[in-house]
C-alpha cells in the first residue's frame, strides 16, 4: 500500500467514475484500475463495487477512504512545509475574493505587494462562493475573503471575522429621485420610488432577503425587485454611473465614485439598516505561508466603512 494508491481510490470515490478519475489524475484508465486492484490485493478485500458505469465504495472502501483523506492531506502539508522552508521567503499566496472584497481589495492589494513586498508572489481570483470553496478544499486557493452571510459553516473551515460594512442605495449624480427628494423636502425616498428604476445588485444571501422584506415589505424580495444582477460589483456601479439604475449593496464599494462627485448615496424612508459581514476563510490544518500575515493586515486596514 502506498500514498499514490490511496489518492487514486479517493479520486474514484469523488468522481464515481474510473474514466473521470483517470482523466483528473492524468492516467490511463487501465493504469488506474491496476493501481486500485493492487490496493485491494494488499488489503485482501474489495474496496469498490463496479456496477457497469457506476462505481461505489464498499463499507470497507468507505472506511479506507476516510482515513486516506487525512493521510493524503497530511502528506500534502508536509510537502508544503518543506517547500516554504526551502524557499526561505514569505511564500506565495493564492486568494479568492468575493464580489465586494474584489472591488475594494484587488487592485490596491496588487499595488501594495508590488511596491512594498516584491519578493511575494500573489494570485487573486474571483468567482462564486461555491466554486471558491471547492478550490479552497482542493488547496488551489489558500484563503478566501468573502461575505460570510452566504457561507454555511463546516468543521474544516476556519472563519476569521474581519468587519461589518454598511449597505445602502447609490445612484448617479443628477438622478431624478434626487431632484424629487429636494423638491418635496423629503428626508428620503420610498422603496416604491426606488422600484420605478432598475435595481442593480449582486446575488444576495437569504438573510439579506429577509432583512429587505422586513424593512420594505414583500415587494423588496430581490427575486422580483432586482432587475440587474451579476457577481461583479464594479460592473454594476459603472452601469449606475451612466444610467438611472440604482445600486443596492456595500456603500463603500462606490466610494471612489462618491468622492469624485459622480455618485450619491440615496437615503430611503425607512432607512436600510443592514450590512455585510466580511471574513477571511482558511482550511483547518492548512500550513500557511508567512505572507498570509500581509493579507490579514491589509484586509483589516481596508475593509471598513
pLDDT of residue 87: 57
- Three-point CA angle 267, 271, 277, nearest 5°: 105
Mean pLDDT across 93-102: 90
Pairing, β 246-250 against β 122-126: unpaired
Cα separation, 66 vs 207, in Å, equals 34
- Asked whether residue 88 carries a pLDDT value surpassing 80, the answer given is no
- Asked whether residue 201 carries a pLDDT value surpassing 70, the answer given is yes
Q: Name the residue with higher pLDDT: 29 or 51.
A: 29
pLDDT of residue 114: 94
Cα separation, 195 vs 214, in Å, equals 16
pLDDT of residue 247: 97
Domain 89-163+277-302 has CATH 1.10.10.10: no
**In the structure grid, which three cell numbers stand for residue 92, read together?**
506565495
Confidence tier at 84 by pLDDT (50, 70, 90): low
pLDDT of residue 19: 85
Widest CA span in the chain: 84
- Asked whether residue 77 carries a pLDDT value surpassing 80, the answer given is no
- Asked whether residue 164 carries a pLDDT value surpassing 80, the answer given is yes
Mean pLDDT across 251-257: 91
Classify domain 3-86 by CATH number: 1.10.10.10
Cα separation, 181 vs 206, in Å, equals 31
CB atoms within 10 A of CB 263: 22
Asked, colleague to colleague, whether 89-163+277-302 and 166-274 share their fold, the answer is: yes
* pLDDT tens-place string over residues 37-52: 998 888 888 888 877 6
Domain ranges in the chain are 3-86, 89-163+277-302, 166-274
Mean pLDDT across 133-139: 91
Mean pLDDT across 232-239: 92
Cα separation, 116 vs 291, in Å, equals 12
Mean pLDDT, the chain, as a whole number? Answer: 87
- Asked whether residue 83 carries a pLDDT value surpassing 80, the answer given is no
Cα separation, 181 vs 50, in Å, equals 69
Q: Name the residue with higher pLDDT: 112 or 51.
A: 112
Pairing, β 263-266 against β 228-229: unpaired
Q: Dump the DSSP string for 167-208.
A: EEEEEETT-HHHHHHHHTT-SSB-HHHHTTS-EEE----HHH
Mean pLDDT across 199-218: 88
Cα separation, 181 vs 169, in Å, equals 14
Mean pLDDT across 198-221: 89
| Percentages (nearest 5) of helix, strand, coil residues in the chain | 50, 20, 30
Domain 166-274 has CATH 2.60.120.10: no
- Asked whether residue 152 carries a pLDDT value surpassing 60, the answer given is yes
Strand partners, 126: 97
pLDDT of residue 29: 87
Amino acid at each position: 500500500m502506498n500514498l499514490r494508491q490511496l489518492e487514486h481510490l479517493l479520486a474514484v470515490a469523488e468522481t464515481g467514475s474510473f474514466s473521470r478519475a483517470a482523466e483528473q489524475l492524468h492516467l490511463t484508465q487501465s493504469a488506474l484500475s491496476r493501481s486500485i486492484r493492487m490496493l485491494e490485493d494488499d488489503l485482501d478485500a474489495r474496496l469498490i463495487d463496479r456496477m457497469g458505469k457506476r462505481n461505489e465504495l464498499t463499507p470497507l472502501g468507505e472506511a479506507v477512504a476516510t482515513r486516506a483523506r487525512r493521510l493524503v492531506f497530511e502528506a500534502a502539508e508536509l510537502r508544503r512545509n518543506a517547500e516554504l522552508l526551502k524557499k526561505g521567503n514569505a511564500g506565495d499566496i493564492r486568494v479568492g475574493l468575493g464580489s465586494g472584497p474584489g472591488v475594494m481589495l484587488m487592485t490596491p492589494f496588487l499595488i501594495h505587494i508590488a511596491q512594498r513586498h516584491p519578493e511575494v508572489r500573489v494570485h487573486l481570483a474571483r468567482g462564486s462562493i461555491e466554486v471558491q470553496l471547492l478550490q479552497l478544499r482542493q488547496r488551489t486557493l489558500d484563503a478566501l475573503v468573502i461575505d460570510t452571510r452566504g457561507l454555511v459553516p463546516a468543521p474544516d473551515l476556519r472563519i476569521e471575522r474581519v468587519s461589518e460594512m454598511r449597505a445602502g442605495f447609490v445612484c448617479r449624480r443628477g438622478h431624478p429621485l434626487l431632484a424629487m427628494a429636494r423638491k418635496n423636502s423629503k428626508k428620503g425616498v420610498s422603496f416604491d420610488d426606488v422600484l420605478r428604476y432598475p435595481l442593480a445588485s449582486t446575488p444576495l444571501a437569504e438573510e439579506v432577503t429577509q432583512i429587505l422584506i422586513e424593512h420594505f415589505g414583500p415587494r423588496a424580495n430581490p427575486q422580483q425587485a432586482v432587475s440587474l444582477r451579476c457577481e461583479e460589483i464594479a460592473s454594476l456601479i459603472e452601469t449606475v454611473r451612466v444610467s438611472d439604475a440604482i445600486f443596492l449593496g456595500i456603500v463603500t464599494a462606490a466610494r471612489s465614485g462618491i468622492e469624485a462627485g459622480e455618485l450619491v448615496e440615496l437615503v430611503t424612508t425607512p432607512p436600510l439598516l443592514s450590512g455585510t459581514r466580511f471574513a477571511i476563510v482558511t482550511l483547518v490544518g492548512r500550513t500557511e505561508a508567512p505572507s498570509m500575515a500581509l493579507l490579514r493586515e491589509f484586509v483589516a486596514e481596508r475593509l471598513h466603512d
